[in-house]
Amino acid sequence: MGAIFPNDVLYEFVTLFVVLDPIATLPIFTAVTVGLTRRQSLLVAFYALGVSFLVLLFFIVAGQHLLEALKIPMASFQLAGSLVLLLFGLKMVLGKITDDAAEAGTSASSLLDRAIYPLAVPGIAGAGAMLTVVLLTDNKIRSIGEQVMTTGILLLCLTILFGMFALAAAIFRVLGRPGVEIVSRVFGLILASIAVTSLVIAVKMSFGLPTG
């Protein structure tokens, strides 16, 4: 395998950071932590990021093997992931995600329950993130060292997300509720657009058409 160049690290960092979508998950985090103390809110953030890391680590280690064992082509996985991502993006545009998060927060029996849905999955470790880590750690073209590097970059991105969650209250004071709703809907539209693009590519791959 070739050497790992700095631009590869930067590319993977930007790709993972964008697909984890920290801005879009801030409204979800705020909704599920309503009424909690700062310490409890930080625990929810820690649990959510921990669960997200474990889910994505599973796909890094076993995702490709699982797809091959089930004889699921990468195009089919991308197609299914794109559909889920599209539905998630549309729910963000319509403001349904924050409503679901608020409802989950009020009905959750523990901090871990608040952290898992919809913050950890599908908020952070969503279909797009799962697909991305599988592609970035392709066993056929990536060495073990490169896959470890990708895992380290994922940890860095999640650490930055924790910092953003810790500053969520300050960010929301600056933006205000209307600003947060606007940002959430805009990012939902971007997410839906990314999903449609990925969906078109997956369909072309399925029929052996050029994706360029």
The two structure tokens encoding residue 158: 């999640």
Rounded distance, CA 32 to CA 1, Å? 44
Confidence of residue 5 (pLDDT cuts 50, 70, 90): very low
Rounded distance, CA 65 to CA 122, Å? 22
Rounded distance, CA 94 to CA 143, Å? 42
Give the per-residue pLDDT at 2: 42
Place of tokens 């539905």: 87
Give the per-residue pLDDT at 115: 92
pLDDT tens-digit series, residues 35-61:
889 999 999 999 999 999 999 999 999
For 34, phi then psi, to 5°, come to -60, 130
Cβ-contact 52, 124 below 8 angstroms:
yes
How many residues are present in the chain?
A: 212
pLDDT tens-digit series, residues 188-208:
787 788 788 888 888 888 888
Question: How many other C-beta atoms lie within 10 A of the C-beta of residue 123?
Answer: 27
Whether 162 has a pLDDT exceeding 80, the answer reads yes
Q: End-to-end alpha-carbon separation of the chain, Å?
A: 26
Whether 6 has a pLDDT exceeding 60, the answer reads no
91 three-class SS:
helix
Amino acid at 192: A
Whether residue 118 is preceded by a cis peptide bond, meaning omega within 30 degrees of 0, is: yes
Give the per-residue pLDDT at 15: 80
Place of tokens 């880590």: 133
What's the pTM value of the predicted model, to 2 decimals? 0.77
Cβ-contact 186, 175 below 8 angstroms:
no
DSSP 36-66: --HHHHHHHHHHHHHHHHHHHHHIIIIIHHH
Cβ-contact 165, 45 below 8 angstroms:
yes
Cβ-contact 44, 28 below 8 angstroms:
no
